[in-house]
């Protein structure tokens, strides 16, 4: 009945099929991070930051997640401003230095295009730090257009593991009135990170780990203070 619903359902199925060889490894890495009580860092600019935010301090979500929520990467501080900043080489160091990132932590970089300086360089910094780096990106779009900074590799070329969000170039699934619309990257990315997280939690729980999961603050009797105190020195935005 609804074209967007049909297209979204098909996209999610396509994502699972396209990533069937790499998803198990991504889930394994996330599970090990939970078991070892290390931090899962997420980074994205523009609308990609929403996908990192999806995992951060979420009711029913993992507490050992540090999302980069610095204002310069978010559209709330100016959409055109953030779009320009993500293209500038070197800015990633300013953000990186403000977070507590240990070698044993897992690093997830989300960028639909995979061509802008900041997400690419953030992935490179994480690799140089010894972190495993997972990229969530559109392989089709990334291969179609050149990098913004000449000489750089694209995000999918530098990550240890690449998850294809299967989003077509232009981030739209529908043609309406001659226009490409029906954004896909947010629903695709949120699906991928929640799939990874829940499957990783199953592995950790099977090994006897008490999962660090937040309760909803809108349910009477909730208590997240123990988790806040456990991670407050390792997660910037708590």
Total structural domains within the chain: 1
Does some domain include residue 27?
Answer: yes
For residue 133, list its beta bridge partners. Answer: 107
Does some domain include residue 170?
Answer: yes
Q: How confident is the prediction along the chain (238 residues), in pLDDT tens digits per residue?
A: 899 999 999 999 999 999 999 999 999 999 999 999 999 999 999 999 999 999 999 999 999 999 999 888 788 778 888 888 888 889 999 999 999 999 999 999 999 999 999 999 999 999 999 999 999 999 999 999 999 888 899 999 999 999 999 999 999 999 999 999 999 999 999 999 999 999 999 999 999 999 999 999 999 988 999 999 999 999 999 9
pLDDT one-digit tens code per residue, 111-127: 999 999 999 999 999 99
Whole-number Å distance between alpha carbons of 160 and 135: 8
Report the DSSP pairing between strands 106-110 and 179-183. unpaired
pLDDT one-digit tens code per residue, 161-191: 999 999 999 999 999 999 999 999 999 999 9
pTM summary value? 0.96
Count of residues for the chain?
238
| Structural domain harbouring 54 | 3-211
148: CATH? 3.40.50.10490
Report the DSSP pairing between strands 172-176 and 179-183. antiparallel
C-alpha closest to that of 148 among 117, 119, 123: 117
pLDDT at 230: 97
Beta strand residue intervals within the chain, DSSP E: 40-44, 65-67, 106-110, 132-137, 161-164, 172-176, 179-183
Does some domain include residue 185?
Answer: yes
Does some domain include residue 92?
Answer: yes
Does some domain include residue 68?
Answer: yes
Exposed/middle/buried for residue 225 (C-beta within 10 Å: 0-12, 13-18, 19+): exposed
Does some domain include residue 147?
Answer: yes
pLDDT at 150: 85
User: Which whole-number Å values give the CA distances from 186 to 48, 50, 100, 107, in the listed order?
Assistant: 7, 7, 27, 19
User: Which whole-number Å values give the CA distances from 235 to 74, 130, 150, in the listed order?
Assistant: 18, 19, 34
- Asked if residue 100 lies in contact with residue 38, where contact means CB atoms within 8 angstroms, the answer is no
Does some domain include residue 226?
Answer: no
Whole-number Å distance between alpha carbons of 205 and 224: 19
Does some domain include residue 232?
Answer: no
């Amino acid at each position: 009945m609804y074209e967007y619903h049909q297209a979204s359902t098909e996209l999610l199925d396509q994502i699972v099929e396209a990533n069937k060889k790499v998803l198990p490894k991504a889930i394994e890495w996330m599970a090990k991070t939970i078991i070892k009580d290390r931090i899962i860092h997420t980074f994205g600019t523009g609308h990609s930051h929403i996908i990192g935010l999806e995992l951060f301090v979420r009711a029913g979500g993992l507490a050992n997640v540090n999302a980069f929520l610095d204002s310069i990467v978010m559209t709330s501080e100016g959409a055109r401003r953030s779009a320009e900043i993500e293209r500038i080489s070197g800015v990633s160091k300013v953000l990186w230095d403000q977070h507590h990132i240990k070698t044993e932590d897992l690093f997830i970089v989300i960028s639909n295009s995979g061509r802008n300086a900041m997400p690419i360089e953030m992935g490179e910094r994480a690799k140089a730090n010894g972190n495993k780096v997972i990229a969530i990106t559109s392989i089709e779009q990334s291969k179609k257009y050149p990098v913004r900074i000449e000489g750089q590799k694209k995000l999918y070329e530098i990550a240890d593991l690449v998850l294809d969000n299967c989003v077509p170039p232009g981030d739209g699934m529908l043609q309406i009135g001659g226009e490409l619309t029906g954004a896909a990257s947010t629903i695709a990315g949120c699906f991928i990170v929640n799939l990874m997280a829940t499957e990783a939690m199953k592995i950790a729980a099977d090994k006897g780990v008490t999962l660090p999961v937040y309760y909803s603050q809108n349910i009477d009797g909730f208590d997240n203070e123990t988790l806040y105190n456990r991670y407050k020195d390792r997660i910037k935005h708590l």
